[in-house]
Amino acid sequence: MMCGLAGIILGNKERKEDDFEWIKESMTSLLVRSQARGPHATGIAVIRRDGTYQLLKRPLPAEAFVETQEYEDVMAEIDDKVSIIMGHTRYRTIGTEKKSENNHPIRAGKIIGTHNGTIYNAAYIADMHGLNRFADVDSEVLFRVANKFRNPIHFESKLKNFRGQMTAVMVNLNRPNKIRIYKGNKPFSMLWIDELDIMIYASNSDYFESVEAEDYTTHDYRFKPNRAIQFNTEKELKMKVSNFKFIPTVRQPNTIFQNMVTLLS
């Protein structure tokens, strides 16, 4: 099991108070359902159209995280100025969840992002680009490369050197109306809700069952691997899809360990 991505992308339109209550409740439900993919830490980033943001992450399962006063305070600030609510539930692999820098969303310079997967050659990539690292988690390297190469075309050209597993969501705070999603070889689904002009996303489409969308017109979206999906939230939501090169890798068992098992059997 890997981590869970969950979030809501908002087009720029006026909404009623009831709409925002629905958005907040839906975000909370998505986080709680996503706990099944990552119980060790939970986080959200609320990013506004002027580049300001609130970032909250704690070494707690989502069920406990959404009950904190801090979470309630962040969610209370959601309004028409928000371009994305970016959530993550972490399954610990590399780096303890007790160290906040290892949890998501991760801020690397002007980039805030969430990642599901593992970058096996993170140390190699960091050395290649002369990156300073402040966390143990491999995901940090992905966002530090994005911060160094902020032009999406230049960043995407670097992804061909990564080895591992990846789907990621990120925002450049200098361009907070542009939401970038890199759907690699990890699961990712989206649900567009016409009346609210929002896109809900999650790592598992089953989690959309927790969102009460029966009264709305919805559209499901699924993407093949290696698709770059960009949303423009300056006005009504606009989506653009292109390809990028990424080589998925499954780590092989240690050969020495295999030999030891053979000798002992």
* Average pLDDT of the segment spanning 30-56: 98
Which helix (H) or strand (E) segment is 181 a member of? strand 178-183
3-state secondary structure at position 263 = helix
Domains of the chain, start order = 4-264 (3.60.20.10)
Distances (CA, A) of 134 to 29, 32, 122, 137, 168: 31, 28, 13, 9, 19
* Average pLDDT of the segment spanning 169-184: 98
- pLDDT score of 35 more than 60: yes
For the stretch 150-170, pLDDT in tens is: 999 999 999 999 999 999 999
CB 19 within 8 A of CB 10: no
* Average pLDDT of the segment spanning 44-62: 98
Tokens of 18: 């009831």
94: exposed, middle or buried (C-beta count within 10 Å: 0-12, 13-18, 19+)? middle
Residue from 77, 85, 142 nearest 109 by CA: 142
For the stretch 77-103, pLDDT in tens is: 999 999 999 999 999 998 999 999 999
3-state secondary structure at position 226 = coil
Higher per-residue pLDDT: 214 or 84: 84
Its pTM stands at 0.93
**What pLDDT shows up at residue 214?**
86
